[in-house]
Amino acid sequence: MKHNFGAGPGILPHEVLKQAAASVVDLNGIGLSILEISHRSVEFEAILEEAIKLVKELLNVPEGYSVLFLQGGASTQFALAPYNLLPDGGKAAYLETGVWANKALKEAKFFGETVVVATSKESNFTYIPKDYVIPADAAYFHITSNNTIYGTQLQEFPISSIPLVCDMSSDIFSRIINVADFGLIYAGAQKNMGPAGTTLVIVKDDILGKTGRKIPAMFNYQAQIEGGSMYNTPPCFAIYVSMLTLKWLKSKGGVAAIETENTAKAAILYDEIERNPIFKTVCAKEDRSKMNVCFVTENPEHEKPFLKLCDEKGIVGIKGHRSVGGFRASIYNALPITSVHVLIEAMQEFAEKNK
């Protein structure tokens, strides 16, 4: 058995994988594969409708918001957010908390002035900046809720008088949020929602259409809303698997229930890191991520032997991002707490052998 701590594409529920695998041969007994049916067919339209319905139900999306399933990953949304929200001559504000926040900032510079309200770059993004001032004259304020590379997470969201735009790629559906606090939420599916290939966008309708610029239809949120996420052929299989994953999440009790599980998984793993003399975290304790637990060895020479032990025990995806090294245990929704216990046992065994 493998224990998948990969940062993304991440682990999916086993029952979802089984149902998705069966659908590749025959979708619900119709004699056709999910990979070959028309996106305009009754079968796929029902899948897309169910996926959107589940998003609205699980996140309690209020009236006045549209839910889209698009392509291009969160990286495309780095550009589409300013394209759709930042007027010519306008200004956008950004909180710089890691690589992906920085990439989003760079894309926004193509469309207008940008201002960094706060950054933790000087500490290699080991904490979330606080006590900053959001400029009231900016078109929007962009944040990244969870930082997969550095293992930090916004535990509370800022109160903003301007539209709040959030990249939630790595913690969407992992905890309760108030969608009404945001103007735009976007998230790549491949962490907590489904496979790579589709991106969830939740946008407040009344913040659109105010840039004064013409936007090509494929990049225009309003055109995508009017097209029902099907302006062009959508990523049918990725949307289907996302729908199955959201059904699985609902069956477990929804976001509140999974948040309790995620909190428990993170707590026992951080407790072990703090207790174990071999390992340590590098992030500010109050900003530690409940999705990506990043840690290092006190002695760098222990890194390779520990990775070898993990491999022997079926623990995969534990190696840290190449830019920071160390270890990263991504404990997304579908990872069972039993896998976290296997990792903890490996850490304890390694410490015992290296006294």
The residues annotated with a catalytic role in the active site are 100, 167, 191
Peptide bond into 62 cis (omega under 30): no
Cβ neighbourhood burial of 147 (10 Å; 0-12, 13-18, 19+): buried
Question: 3-state DSSP call for residue 307?
Answer: helix
185: β partners: 166, 202
Give the β-pairing of 91-96 and 113-119.
Answer: parallel
In the block, residue with structure tokens 């989003």: 104
User: What DSSP letter does each residue of 105-137 carry, written as one string?
Assistant: HHHHTTTSEEEEEEE-GGGTS-S---S----TT
Q: How many angstroms separate the Cα of 72 from the Cα of each of 59, 105, 224?
A: 23, 17, 14
Task: Give the span between the Cα atoms of 327 and 123, in whole angstroms.
Answer: 18
What's the start-to-end Cα distance of the chain, in Å?
A: 29
Instruction: Give the tokens for residue 247.
Output: 């059904």
- Angle, alpha carbons 151-157-159 (nearest 5°): 155
How many Cβ atoms are within 10 Å of 149's Cβ, its own excluded? 20
Sign, Cα dihedral of 348, 349, 350, 351: positive
Secondary structure (3-state) at 181: helix
- Paired tokens of 229: 């996420």
Residue 8: strand, helix, or coil: coil
